[in-house]
């Protein structure tokens, strides 16, 4: 059955349903559900609208929770796909099928016209779906800006599979404004992996995860979890993975660009250290490609092929990585062992420069006044070439 928020009607696609073939409204729904006549259905609907009618005491409406508001809005966004040419064309371009993938579209119009609901508007402002502009519009009512306008919408779910967050992907190709999350980001996509998960694929983006899940062969063999970018392995991701007691393998299926390769090394090492008994593998993605772009330019078999050729890399533990990075940043000094001839030439140059401020009166404390500083070499004998232990003292002029 499909419920249409815009018209407040429903349609059942099952041929076994007595309502099949016709659109039904709220009263019809109650009649069929409760097996009653229309008059009884109207009374039932009236009671649902105002169960306390006739009571003198006014009951304050219960404030909806974040989950309730986001669930209601995501349902609205999902219905909006059917009436949006822009959304359909964008999903088709990305190789996604909205009949397979639970996805919505935000046209930014849900708080206008007949759809206007003050309680819903206040809730949307509180949870970030509407931004109060602080002024009034042409109608004299408060003006709002819709968050994530003209975006494809995905639901982020908690451990109980309830919507606790939303991700917005712009249909407008603006490089600096493509990805949007509601404030206080919560939830995972497509949700928490099931307890019996044995092989888990981590992707770099939500659209990449959705692309993999549309392939039956992949969905049946693996569980998929989307990161939130190359720096998007959050604490919530890690806690969800730690709960998988039967996990045997984590597969990193990240982008083929430089950032993606660095993220594979970074997270591969981190996961290897955190899950010593779990195999950590990575998929070699062609240069500057990602899961979704591969799906756009090739047949879907390329994804299963790449997964089949994944490799187990020799990831270093994090402390080993730190030592490696430290060595690269601060390489060990190379020891220099001069020959006797080089030592003689060095002493000769010192003597020749005596006219320019070199003081050799004390063989254990050679002094030299340079252009920028004063130098003292202590513990060195000019006539004793095999003694090279010295102290160099440098002071500013």
For the chain, report the end-to-end CA distance as a whole number of angstroms. Answer: 89
**Statement: residue 332 has pLDDT above 80:** no
Q: Look at residue 188 in the predicted model and tell me its pLDDT.
A: 97
Average pLDDT of the segment spanning 305-310: 94
pTM above 0.85, yes or no: no
User: Would strands 249-253 and 373-378 be described as parallel, antiparallel, or unpaired?
Assistant: unpaired
- Cα separation, 257 vs 32, in Å, equals 56
**Mean of the per-residue pLDDT values of the chain:** 84
**What strands, in cross-sheet order, belong to the sheet with 249-253?**
223-226, 199-203, 249-253, 279-282, 311-312
Q: Look at residue 313 in the predicted model and tell me its pLDDT.
A: 76
Average pLDDT of the segment spanning 223-251: 95
CATH architecture of 196-334: 3-Layer(aba) Sandwich (3.40)
Q: Look at residue 281 in the predicted model and tell me its pLDDT.
A: 96
Q: Look at residue 373 in the predicted model and tell me its pLDDT.
A: 77
The larger pLDDT score, comparing residue 215 to residue 315, is at 215
Closest CA to 303 of 217, 198, 229, 228: 217
Where do the structural domains in the chain lie, given as residue ranges? Answer: 2-49, 61-187, 196-334, 340-396
- Cα separation, 18 vs 119, in Å, equals 36
Omega before residue 190 within 30° of 0, cis: yes
pLDDT digits 0-9 by tens, 70-129:
999 999 999 999 989 999 999 999 999 999 999 999 998 876 655 567 788 888 999 999
Q: Look at residue 158 in the predicted model and tell me its pLDDT.
A: 96
CATH architecture of 61-187: Alpha-Beta Complex (3.90)
- Cα separation, 296 vs 311, in Å, equals 24
Least confident range from 42-46, 87-91, 127-131, 360-364: namely: 360-364
């Amino acid at each position: 059955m499909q419920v249409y928020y815009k018209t407040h009607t429903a349609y059942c696609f099952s041929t076994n349903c007595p309502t099949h073939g016709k659109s039904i409204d709220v009263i019809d729904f109650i009649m069929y559900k409760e097996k009653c006549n229309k008059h009884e259905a109207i009374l039932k609907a009236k009671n649902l609208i105002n169960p306390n009618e006739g009571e003198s005491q006014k009951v304050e409406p219960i404030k909806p929770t974040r989950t309730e508001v986001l669930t209601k809005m995501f349902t609205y966004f999902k219905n909006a796909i059917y009436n949006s040419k822009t959304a359909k064309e964008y999903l088709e371009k990305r190789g996604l099928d909205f009949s397979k993938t639970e996805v919505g579209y935000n046209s930014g119009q849900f708080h206008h016209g007949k759809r206007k609901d003050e309680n819903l508007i206040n809730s949307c402002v509180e949870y970030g779906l509407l931004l109060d502009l602080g002024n009034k519009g042409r109608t004299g009512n408060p003006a709002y800006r819709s968050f994530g306008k003209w975006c494809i919408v995905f639901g982020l779910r908690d451990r109980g599979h309830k919507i606790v967050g939303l991700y917005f992907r712009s249909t407008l190709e603006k490089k600096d404004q493509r990805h949007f999350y509601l404030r206080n980001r919560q939830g995972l996509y497509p949700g928490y992996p099931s307890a019996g998960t044995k092989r888990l694929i981590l992707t770099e983006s939500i659209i990449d995860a959705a692309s993999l899940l549309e392939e039956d062969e992949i969905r049946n063999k693996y569980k998929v979890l989307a990161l939130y970018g190359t720096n998007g392995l959050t604490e919530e991701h890690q806690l969800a993975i730690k709960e998988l007691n039967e996990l045997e393998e984590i597969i990193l299926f990240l982008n083929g660009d430089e950032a993606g390769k660095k993220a594979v090394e970074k997270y591969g090492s981190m996961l290897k250290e955190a899950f010593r008994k779990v195999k950590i593998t990575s998929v070699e993605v062609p240069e500057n490609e990602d899961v979704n772009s591969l799906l756009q330019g090739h047949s879907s078999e390329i994804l299963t092929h790449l997964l089949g050729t994944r490799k187990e890399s020799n990831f270093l533990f994090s402390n080993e990585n730190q030592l490696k990075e430290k060595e690269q940043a601060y390489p060990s000094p190379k020891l220099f062992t001069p020959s006797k001839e080089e030592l003689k030439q060095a002493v000769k140059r010192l003597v020749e420069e005596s006219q320019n401020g070199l003081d050799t009166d004390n063989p254990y404390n050679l002094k030299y006044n340079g252009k920028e500083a004063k130098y003292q070499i202590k513990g060195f004998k000019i006539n004793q070439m095999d003694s090279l232990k010295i102290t160099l003292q440098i002071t500013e002029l």
